[in-house]
Amino acid sequence: MSADEIRTSKAEELRVVNRPLARHDAAEKIAGTTRYAADLALGGMLHARLVRSQVPSARLVRRDVSRALEVPGVVAVLVGEDVPHNEVWVDVPGQTTEVVALKASMQVLATERVRFHGEPIALVVTETEDSLAAACEAVDVEYDLLPGVFEPEDGLREGAPAVHDQGNLLAEWNIDRGDVDAAFARADVVVEGEYATQFVDHAYLEPEAGVAWMDDDGVLNIRVATQVVEHYRDVARILGVPDSKVRVIAPYVGGGFGGKEDMTVEPYLALAVAHTRRPVRMTWTRNESLLARAKRHRTKMRYRTAASRDGTILGQDVEITSDAGAYAYLSALVLLYSSVHACGPYRVDNVRVRSKTVYTNNPPTSAFRGFGGMQVVLGYESQMDELARELGLDPAEVRKRNSLRRGDVLPVGQPIETEVLLAETIDAVIERAGDKPVPRGPRRAVGRAIASNMQSYGRLVWLNDSAAAWVGFQLDGSLTVRCGVPDIGGGQASSLAQIASEILGVDMDDISVHFGDSALTPLAGTTTATRQLLMSGNAVYEAATMLRNQILGAVAAERDQPVGSFEMAPGEIAGVDQNVPLKQALMICRRRNVPIEALGTFYGPKGREVGRELHAERIFPDFTFGTHLVDLEIDLDTGQVRLLRYVASHDVGRAINPMIVEGQIAGGAVQGIGQALLEEVVMQEGVNMTGGFFQYLIPTAADVPDIESVIVESGEGLGPFGARGVGEPPIGPPAAAVAAAICDAVGARPTTLPITPERVPDCIDRGRSREGGTAA
């Protein structure tokens, strides 16, 4: 059950942290008693559903709700005009008005124009769920179809239909470092490649859902599956009420992956409650979730890499174009991540990156685990392999030769301040995997490859990130932690308990963590960007440390001893001569007016905001590095790919809980394998063809082998106990590793995701002609 393997340096003596403990939320989830967002039912509760656009691009000629209001059981049907402030504003950072207005907006309910298939037009509220379907059907919507933009390249052409009046280019970023042209001029070898990734859905098992109600004090409560309780401010703005009049509660969330980072049901629940003054529940169907919630950006990348004969990269020239979909959401930021991560975990002194994200009439695109930092892995890692191939070098050696080291400077200008154990992760997966397997029959080929990546953790430094946490003893010696962090399944709350337990000596079973409540827990920011261990973890670390010092100080003063003569131990304060039971120590504190609680706030590293010409001495707090290895077998007739073995290694700094870390690695790897081989939201001229889980194919248990993890611990992270974030990083390498292993097997590389079986025969054919006609 324990970690597959942990390779540690700089270990310190830890009692609770770094141990594979069962999560404190696990027993209830396993017993089936955890109440998720849709599991709550309140007396007199109404039900709500959205009427959505059936076309990708149109002017709305008519929206007639009169027939719907006559459907039995219908309480209200709301349209855009019923929304107090029918506009959600999104910051588009770093851009000037040359590119587009600094702010972009979208409507809560479309009034005049729809820009994607599935866009909300009306909100139906009924007494029972049974009326919802008929009521939605009875809303008459008449469309005047408009030409649409369905490919980003088309959207940039002269005379293209305008998705938005300001133009179709939403944002662009440029990086220029060193002298790229000179680097290419003196190169021994140049490799070029074009790579494309697809629209991907988060496909968490829990569809978007929530229940909202008005409480006795006139505060609107929304209990919702979300990664961001701070959306209470956005809801307040829409309703036109003070921020203090809206409260968002995040129960345990059934998976997030970035898909519950933007608002989903919140504004609609708020409107329905504000209008009816009754509790309301809204659950999106799987079909709606696939249709209308923001996807991972489809991205096209063009790479040119210059290198010397020994495999040293001299320069890299990268163009990135991503599909922003119909509305801005976080597309500009996702593209910024793509740009900053474009060269991967390698030292490249001469770099040119040109990136653009373009409005289309496809579904909106926004946050998804890896946040733009993962699409480019396919680009830079495919380039590394092609380089190795061109030079006849070992791909692992080429990676190690170019690996970032402490003191190297990223293309964007940020120096690497910590030790980088990329080479250790490469060695770890190769050692672990042993011999390459042999084909199990004729007409089969096997391939092996590795892929490495780097992924930032923590938010962009100019966003002034902070997180607060409150830790307090109860009089009986048990402990309460309050922290606004939403727990989306990654063990966010449990990790906080583990950290507090380490510092304060309280048994995990005696700690309660109250989380994810915008009114009652100190705000800790979003569960996104692999930031919660860094931010909330450090906030709890700080609060617990303050509390420990308060108690130790009080006991020392009481006993007239120097402060350093006591330390926290399970159930007691251990002294040089004598121990003081914890309960007694708490009474000492109370007698001496020393609080037995503490509020800690952690502030992330700071930096200046960037402009479109990206340059910053610091842009992210830090990065996590890792390497995956895959063995696979190909059926040369059908093109089917079967994974035989998978090993993944990341330097996680310090594993607060190795079992959670392994879970993140295995889960991220399999999600990445899904993107590599199976998953795509298929669009046809703006019409979403992917209507259900029978069409959106996420990996099953039978599609993947064991994911063997090797945890490397450098102790170099910025999180508590030297931890690095590990939520997003493991999704980066799989697609590149799988593509490279296919290339290893058949001699040519797939460059477009997903690598469905029908894309493989083309690789086989290209591989044959590359080998000069010999059969694969």
Partner 1 sequence: MTQDITVTLTVNGRTVTRAAGAHLSLLRWLRDVADVTDPKYGCGEGVCGACTVLVDGEPVSSCIVLAAQVDAAEVTTVAGLAGADGVLDGLQQAFLEHGAAQCGFCTPGMLMAATELVSRGVRLDRDTIRGELHGNLCRCTGYQAIVDAIASVAGGERG
Partner 2 sequence: MFVKPFRYERASSVTEACALLREYDGEAKVIAGGQSLLPMINLGLVDPSAVVDISRIAGLDGVAERNGSLDVGALTRHRALEGDALVARHQPLLAEAVRSVGNTRVRNRGTLGGSLAHGDPAAELPLAMTVLEAEYEVSNGNATRTIAAGEFPLTYFTTQLAEDELLTGVRVPKLPAGWGWGFHEVSRRPGDFAVVAAAAVVRCRGGAIEDARVGLAGVSERPVRLTSVEAALAGVPVSQIEDVVGEVDAIEPITDTMASAGYRRRLARVLARRVLADACQRSEGAD
Interaction site with partner 2 (CB under 8 A): 49, 129-130, 132-134, 283, 285, 287, 637-640, 678, 680, 682, 689-692, 694-695, 697, 699-700, 702-703, 756-758, 761
CB atoms within 10 A of CB 395: 22
Residues 557-586 that bind partner 1 (CB under 8 A): none
Give me the least distance between CB of 256 and partner 1, in Å please. 8
Which lies closer to partner 2 via its Cβ, residue 182 or residue 682? Answer: 682
- Contact (Cβ atoms closer than 8 angstroms) between residue 600 and residue 546: yes
Where does residue 203 rank: exposed (0-12), middle (13-18), buried (19+ CB within 10 A)?
buried
Asked if 204 touches partner 1 (CB under 8 A), the answer is yes
Give me the least distance between CB of 286 and partner 1, in Å please. 4
- Integer angstrom CA distances of residue 617 from 46, 96, 310, 411, 415: 52, 21, 30, 10, 7
Residue 678 contact partner, candidates partner 2, partner 1, none, CB within 5 to 8 A by sort of partner = partner 2
Give me the least distance between CB of 503 and partner 2, in Å please. 46
Structure tokens at 437: 């397997």
Asked if 488 touches partner 1 (CB under 8 A), the answer is yes
DSSP string, 564-605: GGEEEETTEEEESS--EEHHHHHHHHHHTT--SEEEEEEE--
Tell me the longest C-alpha to C-alpha distance in the chain: 88
- Contact (Cβ atoms closer than 8 angstroms) between residue 87 and residue 38: no
Residue 30 contact partner, candidates partner 1, partner 2, none, CB within 5 to 8 A by sort of partner = partner 1
Which lies closer to partner 2 via its Cβ, residue 142 or residue 637? Answer: 637
Residue 761 contact partner, candidates partner 2, partner 1, none, CB within 5 to 8 A by sort of partner = partner 2
Give me the least distance between CB of 445 and partner 2, in Å please. 16
Residue 203 contact partner, candidates partner 1, partner 2, none, CB within 5 to 8 A by sort of partner = partner 1
Residue 132 contact partner, candidates partner 2, partner 1, none, CB within 5 to 8 A by sort of partner = partner 2
Asked if 630 touches partner 1 (CB under 8 A), the answer is no
**What is d(CA 321, CA 721) in angstroms, rounded to the nearest whole number?**
39
Structure tokens at 489: 């399944």
Which residue from 704, 718, 738, 753 is in contact with partner 1, where contact means CB under 8 A? 704
Which residue from 401, 466, 693, 766 is in contact with partner 1, where contact means CB under 8 A? 693
Asked if 631 touches partner 1 (CB under 8 A), the answer is no
Residue 682 contact partner, candidates partner 2, partner 1, none, CB within 5 to 8 A by sort of partner = partner 2
Give me the least distance between CB of 134 and partner 2, in Å please. 6
Q: What 3-state DSSP class applies to 642? A: strand
Q: Sheet harboring 707-713: ordered strands across?
A: 6-8, 707-713, 641-651, 622-635, 444-457
Which lies closer to partner 1 via its Cβ, residue 373 or residue 490? Answer: 490
- Integer angstrom CA distances of residue 505 from 199, 492, 700: 47, 20, 41
- Contact (Cβ atoms closer than 8 angstroms) between residue 186 and residue 201: no
Considering just the CA atoms, what is the radius of gyration of the chain in Å?
27
Phi first, then psi: what are they for 701, rounded to 5°?
-60, -30
DSSP string, 442-483: TTEEEEEEEEEEEEEES--GGG--EEEEEEEE-TTS-EEEEE
Residue 637 contact partner, candidates partner 2, partner 1, none, CB within 5 to 8 A by sort of partner = partner 2
Which lies closer to partner 2 via its Cβ, residue 362 or residue 532? Answer: 362
Residue 510 contact partner, candidates partner 2, partner 1, none, CB within 5 to 8 A by sort of partner = none
Structure tokens at 436: 């390459």
Which lies closer to partner 1 via its Cβ, residue 160 or residue 374? Answer: 374
Give me the least distance between CB of 301 and partner 2, in Å please. 24
Contact partners, residue 185, CB within 8 Å, separation at least 6: none
Residues in contact with partner 1 by CB under 8 A are 1, 20, 22-23, 25-27, 29-36, 38-39, 41, 129-130, 202-207, 252-257, 283, 285-286, 488-491, 659-660, 662-663, 665-671, 692-694, 698, 700-704, 706-707
